[in-house]
């Protein structure tokens, strides 16, 4: 264990923000390399486009893809580096181009105190509408930086217990029975599987999986069902097959039918496409049993944590999910996981070129590290 | 600035919780005196009964008093001390006796990691019903301790800006015109006054105050009004007198009349007696424009912070209030104040024997210190 540079400097009377005249003893925590551009003043933002390669072609009710564009972000301050990520599956409307434009337009250098998190994120949110993944990349990098300054992981700063992390689901996309069987075998270490359904092969997929394993399943319909009574019949059948909840059964705008379905459903219904940010949570109360929080949709950890608190106070279930992401985004989301009912944090397990090492899944359960910030290391 | 003991120990491979073999270099932060009882293991709780002397006889709609019993609490861990307080105005049902019994029954020594805040507070809450002020004293002491470990004040850990603190109200109790005039003169540094009304002297009190000052007023009716139409007439008149909001106009259980009154009121209505804990917030949505959060009623900072987030997400106004308290309780509440609409944090200003120094009011505005934890020092 090496000397904590922050304390080391402060002991010598050098306050954060002062120009550092000392040789830097880099602790190696989170690869906190010193940026030669560091001016001793504001936050230094840098970013890099990256393409995630998926292990399998990924198919949901509406389309297929083999890769996901992400933007890898760094915020440097006082010799520490916070890492962030924007994952941008194309159907959400963001891209390398939009993220580059958004991030280039930010002036984080105006902020000399990263603890002004609320002010910084309010500024970031005000620069342009949308761009939620790009906004999340800043939020995550700031949290990583702050956690490193505080020398604690965020689950600790929030007061949560690492043992309370849930099992994580492993996602099985829509595919031919042969491919589904192969994927389910690959998913053997997981204690709960998330099955993408919502096309005309729902029963076939579930039956195929049930030939191999009897682990609990959850299903993600991705708005694939159109008739509420038919949806209810399907949910009854799914319950008999050992399914524990149903994600986004119908169109995200159809709140009336969803309220009816939730009222009659023997399984909890979880909003995914229907939920984006904090303001949506109370609007969905009554229409869904719970929400799936994703950092890339809600602009990051700060807002996600509020969403969690609001959902809990409304007696709603909470799931924490992700896109296909590196271990950076997934480890950030995992900080919240001790407080959720279910986690769907397999995004980094679906890719072959993860540039980070972070949260791990051991025996199907999210295992948080005691490393500061979001707990990731660049490989 | 002295050496940070935590980091100092960790650098030598001594983890928190290990028996300390080193001479303790006490930084003096927050009077973090080393407790000789420190076993190197669990949290050490101690408490002391104390009686606050009020500068003025305090009269609200229902009764008068000249003192307030409080319990001063310490949690010691690893050579650091966290301070907490339970303030127990008699009408809330707690007393030195109930607090002593509750605190004696707690086994905090079972917890060796103060960062397990959520688990510790869940345990504390489960030990007995009620006892909200006693529970708050633990929550506050834990936050103070954690902030000292992190070496940051809570407003920073939460990401809030110290400049965003609101003006604080100064409370004028129900009294004769002469005494009211004297109190208003004493309150000259304050930019907003909170006037207790709800007896048959409402107009007389307001008129008396308006002879001396034209600062904005808010009124606290303490459930004193019984007829909603009469209440609405009074609110219209109060608005003309420069009143900016109305606290707890009617009986706390009368949600229907309150919903009507809030809908028709030209001023925001704020729940006080009607609100206690997190679960109440969403229930009051629609019946009141906002809520007054008090640590002594909601079990402390952890739950208060959640209440703030929930109220905000429901577009409700938020006020942070206090009882007559020492600077300990008031400084804890003040950590949240950058995020509220109004503060009523004058509890420590109404007493003559404050054993702490903490948050200050400068030109009527809450001024947060950069000291770690809740930012108090024992005098």
What's the pLDDT tens digit per position in B318-362? 999 999 999 999 999 999 999 999 999 988 988 999 999 999 999
Say if the Cβ atoms of A152 and B156 lie within 8 Å.
no
In this structure, the strands spanning B269-271 and B243-247 are: parallel
Rounded Cα distance between A239 and A237, Å, is 5
What DSSP line would sit under B230-256, residue for residue? HHHHHHHHHHHTTEEEEE--B-TT-HH
Take residue B37 and report the two structure tokens written for it. Answer: 């009882």
- Report angle CA B97, B98, B101 to the nearest 5 degrees: 85
Mean pLDDT of all residues belonging to chain B: 88
> Nearest Cα to B310, choosing from A319, A307, A276?
A307
Q: Using CB atoms, pick whichever of B146, B159, B313 lies closest to residue A117.
A: B159
> Nearest Cα to B206, choosing from B224, B219, B191?
B219
Which residues of B lie closer than 8 Å to A, measured between beta carbons?
A: 1-4, 7, 10-11, 13, 115-119, 121, 146, 150-152, 156-161, 278-279, 281-282, 302, 306, 309-310, 312-314, 338-339
ipTM of the complex: 0.83
Are A169 and A190 a contacting pair, CB within 8 Å?
yes
Greatest distance between any 2 Cα atoms in chain B: 70
Q: At what angle do helices B301-313 and B117-127 cross, to 10 degrees?
A: 100
Rounded Cα distance between A130 and A135, Å, is 9
Rounded Cα distance between B231 and B223, Å, is 11
In chain A, what residues touch B124 (CB-CB under 8 Å)?
Answer: none
Say if the Cβ atoms of A152 and B117 lie within 8 Å.
no
In chain B, what residues touch A115 (CB-CB under 8 Å)?
Answer: 152, 156-157, 159
User: Across B37-178, where does the E strand assignment appear?
Assistant: 44-59, 64-77, 80-87, 170-172
Rounded Cα distance between A86 and A138, Å, is 8
Residue A67 pLDDT exceeds 70: yes
Q: Using CB atoms, pick whichever of B160, B161, B281 lies closest to residue A313.
A: B281
- Report angle CA A65, A69, A72 to the nearest 5 degrees: 150
Tens of pLDDT, residue by residue over B261-293, are 999 999 999 999 999 999 999 999 999 999 999
Instruction: Name the least confident of A59-68, A94-103, B29-38, B179-188.
Output: B29-38
Are A327 and A358 a contacting pair, CB within 8 Å?
yes
Which residues of A lie closer than 8 Å to B, measured between beta carbons?
A: 1-4, 7, 10-11, 13, 115-119, 121, 146, 150-152, 156-161, 278-279, 281-282, 302, 306, 309-310, 312-314, 338-339
In chain A, what residues touch B309 (CB-CB under 8 Å)?
Answer: 306, 309-310
Say if the Cβ atoms of B160 and A3 lie within 8 Å.
no
Tens of pLDDT, residue by residue over A182-230, are 889 888 889 999 999 988 888 999 999 999 999 999 999 999 999 999 9
The DSSP letter of residue B34 is P
Tens of pLDDT, residue by residue over A125-141, are 999 999 999 999 999 99
Nearest chain A residue (CA) to B339: A118
In chain A, what residues touch B116 (CB-CB under 8 Å)?
Answer: 159, 161
Counted across chains A and B, CB pairs separated by less than 8 A come out at 89
The full length of chain A comes to 379
Domains defined along chain A, listed by start: 5-152 (3.30.390.10), 156-378 (3.20.20.120)
Say if the Cβ atoms of B118 and A7 lie within 8 Å.
no
In chain A, what residues touch B310 (CB-CB under 8 Å)?
Answer: 309-310, 313
pTM of the predicted structure, to 2 decimals: 0.86
Most A CBs within 10 A among B117, B125, B313, B338, hence the mutation to make, goes to B313
Rounded Cα distance between B61 and B87, Å, is 20
Rounded Cα distance between B198 and B205, Å, is 10
């Amino acid at each position: 264990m090496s000397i904590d540079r922050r304390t080391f400097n402060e002991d010598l009377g050098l306050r954060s923000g002062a120009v550092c005249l000392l040789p830097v003893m880099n602790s190696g925590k989170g690869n906190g390399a010193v940026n030669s551009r560091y001016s001793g003043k504001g936050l230094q933002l840098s970013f890099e486009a990256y393409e995630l390669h998926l292990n399998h072609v990924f198919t949901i009710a509406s389309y297929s893809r083999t890769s996901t564009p992400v933007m890898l972000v760094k915020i440097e301050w006082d010799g520490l580096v916070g890492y962030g990520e924007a994952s941008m599956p194309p159907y959400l409307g963001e891209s390398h181009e939009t993220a580059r434009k958004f991030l280039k337009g930010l002036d984080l250098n105006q902020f000399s105190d990263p603890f002004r998190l609320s002010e910084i994120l309010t500024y970031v949110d005000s620069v342009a509408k949308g761009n939620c993944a790009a906004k999340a990349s800043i939020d995550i990098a700031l949290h990583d930086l702050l956690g490193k300054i505080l020398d604690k992981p965020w689950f600790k700063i929030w007061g949560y217990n690492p043992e309370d992390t849930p099992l994580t689901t492993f996602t099985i996309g829509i595919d031919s029975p042969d491919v589904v069987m192969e994927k389910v075998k690959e998913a053997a270490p997981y204690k709960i599987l998330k099955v993408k359904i919502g096309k005309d092969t729902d029963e076939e997929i579930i039956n195929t999986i049930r030939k191999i394993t009897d682990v609990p399943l959850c299903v993600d319909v991705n708005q694939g069902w159109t008739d509420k009574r038919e949806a209810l019949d399907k949910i009854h059948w799914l319950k008999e097959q050992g399914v524990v909840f149903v994600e986004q059964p119908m169109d995200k705008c159809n709140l009336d039918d969803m309220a009816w379905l939730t009222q009659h459903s023997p399984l909890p219904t979880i909003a995914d496409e229907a939920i984006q940010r904090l303001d949506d949570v109370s609007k969905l109360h009554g229409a869904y049993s719970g929400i799936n929080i994703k950092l890339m949709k809600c602009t990051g950890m700060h807002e996600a944590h509020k969403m969690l608190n609001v959902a809990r106070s409304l007696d709603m279930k909470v799931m924490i999910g992700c896109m296909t992401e590196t271990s950076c985004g997934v480890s950030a989301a995992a900080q919240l996981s001790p407080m959720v009912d279910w986690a769907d944090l397999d995004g980094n397990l679906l890719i072959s070129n993860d540039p980070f090492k972070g949260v791990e899944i051991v025996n199907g359960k999210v295992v948080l590290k005691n490393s500061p910030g979001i707990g990731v290391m660049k490989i």
